[in-house]
Amino acid sequence: METTDKVLILKTGKFKENDLWVRFLSASRGVQTAFAFGGSRSRKRFGGCLEPFSQVLFKIETNKTGAYQVLKEGSLMKSYPEIRTNLRKTGLAANCLKFIESAGTEKESSRRVFDLLSETLDVIESSEPDDFFPLFFRAKVAFEQGYNPDFTICARCGKPLFSARPVVFDIEKGVITCSECDNGRRGDSVGSGTIRTLAWIQDTGPSNWMPLNLPYEIRQECFSVMDKFMAYHMGLVWEESGYRKI
């Protein structure tokens, strides 16, 4: 069976002299892996479209037993020359791709995550995001996957949280409460600025994050609570130069 699929290339590797395996994010099926036989030498079928940071339209076929997928040919739709040549941008974009590769996606959210990654690469390509940009991306992916706390009101009493200080982020339950309702229960105390920032990321996209000029303390607090949140709910931690499932 042959299908046509719009994808973003995450990673490519060689398994025989001229053959490649390709991991990609499909707009319709999430993270997938397929083989490109002759991919390292075939300019006619795969000219310039098997490198990471490429948006490609692939013709994909499943083998007779259904054990693996084969890429028949690809058409390059978009590449990111700045990301490929600017080392800092390469690092920011690679961090986002590694997260998607490790986290995977649910089928029902694959289109939203695909569009989110596409927009993120567009922003990195055309502007100068700061080093916390991948954190905002990871948080947004978590929200799109259904790990979506309400940052605006206390989960227990319904009190608006933006004016409350401090508030408590219960990582395990995935809820935010005011300090009065927490009453000594286990949770991470965070400032209202952090809650406002996470709510903003939750409700907007990457092109809206560029004007954010956050104090260092808020950035660090966002990193700390979201790192714990994703480790607990998505089973992912950053180690050295990649993500590890726990």
Q: Is the pLDDT of residue 186 over 70?
A: no
Share of the chain above pLDDT 70, in %: 97
What pLDDT sits at residue 98? 92
Q: Using CA atoms, how far apart are residues 138 and 85, in angstroms rounded to an integer?
A: 23
Does the structure show a pLDDT above 80 at 239?
A: no
Q: Which residues have CB under 8 Å from 21's CB, separation 6+? A: 12, 13, 14, 15, 33, 34, 35, 36
| CATH number for domain 82-148+187-245, candidates 1.10.1200, 1.20.1440, 3.10.620, 1.10.3470 | 1.20.1440
Longest dimension (CA), the chain: 66
Token pair of 35 as six digits: 């083989």
Domain coordinates in residue numbering, the chain: 2-79, 82-148+187-245
On the question of pLDDT at 184 being above 70, the answer is no
Return the CATH fold of 2-79.
Answer: OB fold (Dihydrolipoamide Acetyltransferase, E2P) (2.40.50)
